[in-house]
Amino acid sequence: MQRRQSSKHSKRPLQVHHSNQTDLSAWRKGGTVDTEKSAQNRQSLSDQKNDNEQDSLEQALSYFEKIQDRVSLKKSEVLQKHLSTMESIALKRGLPPEGFDVLLDVALSGKLADTVNTRLLKSLIPASAIPESSIVSSVSWFCVSKCSSNIQLLFLRWLITMFDFIDHKEQVHALYGIFFSFLNDEKLCPYICHVLYLLTRKENVKPFRVRRLLDLQSKMGMQPHLQALLSLYKLFCPELVSITLPQKMKTYFKNADGPWKAAINAVRQRNQANSTVPQPLLLGTAQPHSRKRKWNTQLIVPASSANAQNLVVGGKMSRADSYSANESFPVEQLRTFPQLLQNIHRLEFPSQMGSVLTNPLLLHYMNCSKDESVYLRLYYWMGQTLQEECTWCVVDNNQYEEEFRGFLETVYKAECFLQEGFPSCEEFLYRSLPLWDGVSCRSQILQLVSWIPLSTFSEMKSQLCDPLAQLFFTSSLYFKCSVLESLKELLQNWLNWHVVQLDSESDSQFSSLNTTLSGLVNGVAELINFVGRISTAALHLEKSHTFLLYFILDFYETVCDIYLKYKLPLLIMPPAGVFYPALLSMDSVNLNQLCYIMYRYRTNLIAAKENEMSKKKIQQFKFSSQTYQEYNQYIIAMVGCLWTSSAFQKDNHPEGIRLDDELLKKTGVREYKNSFNIVYHPALMCYAVDFLQQAWPDDTTFNFNLIKGKKWNWYLRYLYGQGLEGLKLFIESSINRVSKASQSKAEDEDEKV
Amino acid sequence: MAGGRPAGSAIEMEGAMRTLPSSGRPSGTGWQSRGPLFGRNYGLSPGSRLLPPRCQENADPQKMAFLLRKQWTLYSVSPLYKFSSADLKDYARMLGVFIAAEKQKGLAVDVDGELGIKVAMSGLPELRGSEQDPAAVLVQLSLRSSVSPKNSEEKLIWSGWFCCVAGDDLLENLPENFTCLPLFLVNGAESYTAIVGSWFQKTFDCCFRRLAISPLNLTWMAAMWTGCKVDKNTAATELLFSVPHLPQPLDISYAIHPEDAKALWDTVQKTPGEITQEEVDVFMECLYSHFHRHFKIHLSATKLVKVSTGIASAHCDGIIKFLQSQYLIGVLMLLTELAISQIQ
């Protein structure tokens, strides 16, 4: 029943994530933002599972590390167990860098049978990178030929496939001569050629090597792998290779991908799906989605340096690019925040701005950038991508909804991160909302709505409010609640923006405040009034559903505190269509919320009045007397209802519950006067019953009239103890109790402001 | 057209346009009332357009001849970042290397020549509406003959060009680093389009999107091009309609003698040098009512998919063929406008 607690609970089903807005760690945690409880459970389950896997993988690795002598696979159950654990984890998640040292050593040392070694090699799938040191040590095993030639061959094929995963290659390059010496081995030759082809640099091309290759060619005939290497040599040093080579060769090397390619892709896809952290960018061709449908749409763009193209032609590009190329820090290598800080002066934005979306570090960097073109590039890319991929605006896109949803989620997260909406996203919403069915990508679209920047409301009305209202009235209760939630977030984002603006302006003593302020006040007021209108109608449609009422009052919890919390001279009371359903609600949560809201209105109004009296400079934004009048009307109705049992007489709101005594008598209810006070109010009666049972355990008549005088005060304390914090704040602030120890019926009066 | 289309029947009406319908002026359509939103027009057509200019005096028609009578697929391109027309040679080299790399992934790339495909990039300064427009850029891929590598016998396999004719709307507010060439026209295999497009996307951070032509814009083209003066003996003006929601596709081809179409248009067009949406609507309405009188078919209920005239032909999928070099600029102007409205 506690106000705060309950608010957290009921927010869950809407998948609107609060902490997301500023929490960088949300990026790191990975996983989809799914606040549903079941999803959390699932999450923790899978975390647990991951931990278990981690443990068993570590056990397996330490087992392999300690193996001394030949162990028979058939006889050793331990070996069987560890081998299969390792295999399954490797194929699923890939192996950590530290695993390669151990496993390559085992596989190439010949300690175990070939079947085991083969299985080991086949499961060497990297999760991220392969350390260079493990390659160097495995090459030394390779040289001493402890393992069979089949394993040697498999190792070479593995090396070729994994070449791009090796984190550094300097030391591997130093082994060029060693690899070259294996060319004589007829069986290994094609693969050695391929390795050399990958390793060769200009300085490796030496006359003796050319001679050796030509010798081999004359011995073995025109082999494609030798030709490949020769043509590369010729390319580097045309003067050394004088023979003519055929112009066209379809394939130089047989496909060495072997058993690994599919596993690598599967691992990468899996890891990418589980995390929004930038993946180590392994190859320029990294395409997380196998999206063959269109050549030109890539929703997730890998970050690559802007000068990558220039490097291809060996820095032949003239102008500034060539010398800055040496200095700038390649974005591909940007992994950690300290790196960002150290290199921020020599960092360049990636060649495609779209890649910043999935890269929090680059978003940080973007936040610091004042360059207009950065935003413009992102604007064009995102605008085009959103339009092209929109599942309800473009025919035949339906099948890609999952993907589009993910993209919208990414965009939303980036907006939360930057605390700022993207203009292209706003335009997209304006364009597509009129066509939206309210179903596809619902939570993502509504999330994006909350980041629409504040503009003049007349524009927003036709583009956003009208289509949204149409869907709002015709959709389910839950949709209505979701819309209200996202409009609340929108309001909060605008107000936060204003507060930040205010701070920065007071710093710079820039006082263009008033012109922008009136625009802001108008915009915010229009939004609040819009929500007031749709809320009134929705409460009619949904028969004042408690759940809906909760979300409406939640919205007003922000509204009532605008003056004090966000320093904006604006207070708007909820319409009667919201106030009365809340006052007469059947649920204590709603009533408690209303009490809290009215208490905050009071605090804000009093603060405003005090400010008005003390300093006269912001007279321009004085609250109209109508606001005070409205507040007073409501407070009279409330106090009349809950406290003095005179609601039907005293309420003077035109849409209020003032009723003639004659009419009331006709209802046949005997004690109609006090039927909405804190004892008889339908939302509180359960407390009264409970209280009676505790105070008079033997009395089974439920005589509510017993609660008066001293008992009334006890009852109040009992209610406060039940977590009705809002009610407490309201009664303590708005009801002036003449004599606290009064025996008779409390003779109280509402305190008007 | 009859029998020419395998999947559907067609109704032929060659030269049937002899009598000009006198009535059939529609009341104002709801179109114009939908004004631009937020100062951006979200892909809507403007209420009126200028007549396409006839000919560039200084332009050599021979120079542009290779652009004529070919099918070009249309794309819109967002502004190119850090593109410099002075570096076309370097770009061609880089693109060549990129294509080679794409073709033989995983193998080291031979940088200096001996690639199967040669890339040429050049400027087409003639193709622009005003001095403000950047010069168009032509990209051509050609295959070196493998028989005699030393001879320069090359076969053109793919070409594409970027252009901007009177793209003032977008040019005005664009920062220095950006080059606006919003219209991209392609002739050749899609696989090459994909490679070239990807390279441009990566290098200049731009976006490509297919540029479809809405039926409304096709009616604009029909009217605009009908009004242009063409030499005699040009092909008939032909409008192709498709009937929606049928189990089998049904296309209706409506061919009109160009002189008859021009005569009709001249009675409709009032404002000199300018065409309004209303005039276009009236023109189409007249054609529809004439057709209805003969065949009792309401063409307004079908979808206009293709317009062919002596000037050019355009398909709603975003495919265009230029037929008259002196109207090339005029047609490109309209297409540039459509491309810009798609990227804004």
pLDDT tens sequence across A441-490? 999 999 999 999 887 677 788 889 999 999 999 999 999 999 999 999 99
Question: Nearest CA of chain B to the CA of A432: how many Å?
Answer: 11
Q: How far apart are CA B268 and CA A721, in angstroms?
A: 83
Q: Are A368 and A344 in contact (CB under 8 A)?
A: yes
User: Which residues in B lie closer than 8 A to residue A232 (C-beta atoms)?
Assistant: 108
Record: contact B116-A385, CB cut-off 8 A = no
Q: How many CB atoms lie within 10 A of CB B78?
A: 28
Q: How many CB atoms lie within 10 A of CB B130?
A: 11
Q: How far apart are the first and last CA of chain A?
A: 30
| Chain B residues within 8 angstroms (CB to CB) of chain A | 37-38, 40, 42, 78-79, 81, 87, 90, 93-94, 97-98, 105, 107-108, 110-112, 114, 116, 146, 149, 175, 177-178, 190, 193-194, 197-198, 201-203, 205-209, 343
Do residues B203 and B68 share a domain? yes
Do residues B53 and B194 share a domain? yes
Residue A396 has pLDDT above 90, yes or no: no
Indicate the residue type of B25: R
Residue A574 has pLDDT above 50, yes or no: yes
Say what the pLDDT of residue A573 is. Answer: 95
% of chain A exceeding 70 in pLDDT: 80
Residue A151 has pLDDT above 70, yes or no: yes
Region B85-91: mean pLDDT is: 93
B48 phi-psi bin (left φ>0, alpha ψ -120 to 50, beta other): beta
The DSSP line for A113-168 is -HHHHHHHHHT--BSS-B-HHHHHHHHHHHHHT-S-HHHHHHHHHHHHHHGGGBS-
Sign of the CA dihedral with A369 first, then A370, A373, and A376 last: positive
Which band of pLDDT confidence, cut at 50, 70 and 90, is reported for residue B53? low
Average pLDDT, chain B: 80
Q: How far apart are CA A18 and CA A8, in angstroms?
A: 10
Q: Which residue has the higher pLDDT, B231 or A740?
A: B231
Sign of the CA dihedral with A536 first, then A541, A544, and A547 last: negative
Region B73-77: mean pLDDT is: 96
Q: How far apart are CA B162 and CA B67, in angstroms?
A: 12
Closest alpha carbon to B184 in B205, B202, B157, B211: B211
Residue A747 has pLDDT above 60, yes or no: no
Instruction: Give per-residue pLDDT as tens, A594-613.
Output: 999 999 999 999 998 888 88
Q: How far apart are the first and last CA of chain B?
A: 38
Q: Which residue has the higher pLDDT, A615 or A447?
A: A447
List, in sequence order, every residue forming a beta bridge with B250; answer none if it has no partner: B243
Residue B34 has pLDDT above 80, yes or no: no
Q: How far apart are CA B285 and CA B291, in angstroms?
A: 10
Instruction: Give per-residue pLDDT as tens, A694-728.
Output: 888 888 787 888 888 888 999 999 999 999 999 99
Q: For A233, name the nearest residue in chain B, comparing CA atoms only.
A: B110
Say what the pLDDT of residue A703 is. Answer: 84
Q: How far apart are CA A572 and CA A590, in angstroms?
A: 19
Helices (H) and strands (E) in chain B, counts: 7, 16
Q: What secondary structure letter does DSSP report for A289?
A: S
Which band of pLDDT confidence, cut at 50, 70 and 90, is reported for residue B51? low
Name A681's Cβ contacts closer than 8 Å, sequence gap at least 6.
A591, A641, A642, A675
Among A179-183, A276-280, B304-308, the range scoring the smallest mean pLDDT is A276-280
* SS3 (DSSP) at A231: helix
Say what the pLDDT of residue A70 is. Answer: 76
Q: What are the C-alpha distances in Å from A559 to residues A234, A363, A565, A601?
A: 76, 31, 10, 9
Which band of pLDDT confidence, cut at 50, 70 and 90, is reported for residue A738? low
Does B322 fall in a domain?
Answer: no
Q: Which residue has the higher pLDDT, A290 or A593?
A: A593
Q: Are B159 and B189 in contact (CB under 8 A)?
A: no
Instruction: Give per-residue pLDDT as tens, A637-663.
Output: 999 999 988 888 888 888 888 888 888
User: Which residues in A lie closer than 8 A to residue B149 (C-beta atoms)?
Assistant: 247
Do residues B132 and B264 share a domain? no
Name B330's Cβ contacts closer than 8 Å, sequence gap at least 6.
B51, B52, B53, B54, B224, B228, B311
- A699 alpha-carbon distance from chain centroid: 56
Q: How far apart are CA A395 and CA A393, in angstroms?
A: 7
Q: How many residue pairs from chains A and B have C-beta atoms closer than 8 A? A: 95
Say what the pLDDT of residue A20 is. Answer: 43
Indicate the residue type of A232: L
Instruction: Report the length, in residues, of chain A.
Output: 753
Q: Which residue has the higher pLDDT, B19 or B224?
A: B224
Probe site for chain B from A377, A424, A426, A463 (most B CB atoms < 10 A): A377
Does B36 fall in a domain?
Answer: no
Q: Are A125 and A90 in contact (CB under 8 A)?
A: yes
Q: How far apart are CA A670 and CA A396, in angstroms?
A: 66
Closest alpha carbon to A562 in A512, A516, A597: A597
Q: What are the C-alpha distances in Å from A672 to residues A646, A659, A660, A704?
A: 10, 11, 12, 14
Do residues B185 and B69 share a domain? yes
Q: How many CB atoms lie within 10 A of CB A77?
A: 9
Q: What secondary structure letter does DSSP report for B244?
A: S
Do residues B145 and B269 share a domain? no
Structure tokens at A729: 């704040």
Question: Which residue has 């559907």 as its token pair?
Answer: B8
Does B33 fall in a domain?
Answer: no
* A408-434 per-residue burial string, b: 16 or more CB within 10 A, e: under 16: bbbbbbbbbbeeebbbbbbbbbbbbbe
Say what the pLDDT of residue B193 is. Answer: 93
Q: How far apart are CA A21 and CA A685, in angstroms?
A: 40
What is the residue extent of each domain of chain A? 48-240, 335-453, 476-504+514-604, 684-751
Do residues B160 and B305 share a domain? no
Instruction: Give per-residue pLDDT as tens, A505-526.
Output: 665 544 444 557 788 888 899 9
Q: Residue B321 is inside which H or E element, if any?
A: strand B319-322
Among A169-183, A279-293, A671-685, the range scoring the smallest mean pLDDT is A279-293
Residue A746 has pLDDT above 50, yes or no: no
- A146 alpha-carbon distance from chain centroid: 51
Q: For B150, name the nearest residue in chain A, comparing CA atoms only.
A: A247
Nearest by CB to A295, which of B177, B197, B203? Answer: B197
Say what the pLDDT of residue A562 is. Answer: 94
Among A273-282, B22-31, B172-181, B211-220, the range scoring the smallest mean pLDDT is B22-31
Q: Are B55 and B319 in contact (CB under 8 A)?
A: no
Say what the pLDDT of residue B232 is. Answer: 67
Q: Is A49 exposed, middle or buried (0-12, 13-18, 19+ CB in 10 A)?
A: exposed
Q: At what angle do helices A114-122 and A149-162 cross, to 10 degrees?
A: 0
User: Which of A93-97, A608-612, B172-176, B288-292: highest mean pLDDT?
Assistant: B288-292
The Cβ-side half-sphere exposure at A500, using a 13 Å CA radius, reads: 8
Do residues B114 and B249 share a domain? no
Q: What number is the ipTM of this complex?
A: 0.81
Region A14-37: mean pLDDT is: 41
Phi, psi of A92 (to 5 degrees): -90, -50
Q: What secondary structure letter does DSSP report for A677?
A: S
Instruction: Give per-residue pLDDT as tens, A312-339.
Output: 444 444 444 444 445 678 888 888 889 8
Q: Are B154 and B143 in contact (CB under 8 A)?
A: yes
Do residues B188 and B223 share a domain? no
Say what the pLDDT of residue A334 is. Answer: 85
Q: How many CB atoms lie within 10 A of CB A162?
A: 19
Domain that holds residue B279: 215-316
Instruction: Give per-residue pLDDT as tens, A534-570.
Output: 999 999 999 999 999 999 999 999 999 999 999 888 9
- B83 alpha-carbon distance from chain centroid: 24
- B71 alpha-carbon distance from chain centroid: 9
Closest alpha carbon to B89 in B122, B113, B61, B64: B122
Indicate the residue type of A718: Y
Average pLDDT, chain A: 80
Structure tokens at A654: 């035109």
Q: Are A193 and A228 in contact (CB under 8 A)?
A: yes
Say what the pLDDT of residue A596 is. Answer: 97
Which band of pLDDT confidence, cut at 50, 70 and 90, is reported for residue B256? very high
Record: contact B107-A388, CB cut-off 8 A = no
Q: How many CB atoms lie within 10 A of CB B237?
A: 26
Phi, psi of B275 (to 5 degrees): -120, 135
Does B4 fall in a domain?
Answer: no
Residue A309 has pLDDT above 60, yes or no: no
Region B24-46: mean pLDDT is: 33
Say what the pLDDT of residue B31 is. Answer: 27
Nearest by CB to B110, which of A235, A312, A430? Answer: A235
Do residues B237 and B198 share a domain? no
Do residues B179 and B104 share a domain? yes
Record: contact B202-A383, CB cut-off 8 A = no
Q: How far apart are CA A606 and CA A733, in angstroms?
A: 12
Question: Nearest CA of chain B to the CA of A419: how many Å?
Answer: 24
Nearest by CB to B202, which of A351, A376, A383? Answer: A351
Residue A124 has pLDDT above 80, yes or no: yes
Q: What are the C-alpha distances in Å from A279 to residues A562, A635, A643?
A: 42, 58, 62
Question: Nearest CA of chain A to the CA of B308: how many Å?
Answer: 26
Q: Which residue has the higher pLDDT, B171 or A353?
A: A353
Record: contact B37-A380, CB cut-off 8 A = no
Say what the pLDDT of residue B109 is. Answer: 46
Say what the pLDDT of residue B113 is. Answer: 46
The DSSP line for B168-179 is HHHHHT--TTEE
% of chain A exceeding 90 in pLDDT: 31
Does B25 fall in a domain?
Answer: no
Structure tokens at A585: 């609600």
Q: How far apart are CA B71 and CA B68, in angstroms?
A: 8
Does B284 fall in a domain?
Answer: yes
Question: Considering B210, B245, B271, which residue would you say is the last residue of a domain?
Answer: B210
CA dihedral B185, B189, B192, B193 (to 10 degrees): 30
Q: How far apart are CA B204 and CA B121, in angstroms?
A: 15
Q: For B175, name the nearest residue in chain A, comparing CA atoms only.
A: A373
Q: How many CB atoms lie within 10 A of CB B113?
A: 10
Do residues B92 and B171 share a domain? yes
Probe site for chain B from A160, A202, A309 (most B CB atoms < 10 A): A309
Q: Which residue has the higher pLDDT, A192 or B168?
A: A192
Does B10 fall in a domain?
Answer: no
Residue B223 has pLDDT above 90, yes or no: yes
∠ CA A264-A265-A271 to the nearest 5 degrees?
A: 90
Which band of pLDDT confidence, cut at 50, 70 and 90, is reported for residue A246? low
Among A169-178, A307-316, B304-313, the range scoring the smallest mean pLDDT is A307-316
Which band of pLDDT confidence, cut at 50, 70 and 90, is reported for residue A256? low
Does B11 fall in a domain?
Answer: no
Q: Are A498 and A566 in contact (CB under 8 A)?
A: yes
Residue B175 has pLDDT above 70, yes or no: yes
Record: contact A247-B193, CB cut-off 8 A = no
User: Which residues in A lie closer than 8 A to residue B116 (C-beta atoms)?
Assistant: 248
Region B280-309: mean pLDDT is: 94
User: Which residues in B lie closer than 8 A to residue A314 (C-beta atoms)?
Assistant: 111
Taking every pair of C-alpha atoms in chain A, what is the biggest distance, in angstroms?
119
Say what the pLDDT of residue B148 is. Answer: 53
Region B320-328: mean pLDDT is: 91
The Cβ-side half-sphere exposure at A613, using a 13 Å CA radius, reads: 5
Q: Are A591 and A684 in contact (CB under 8 A)?
A: yes
Do residues B136 and B197 share a domain? yes
Q: How far apart are CA A122 and CA A153, in angstroms?
A: 12
**Model confidence pTM above 0.90:** no
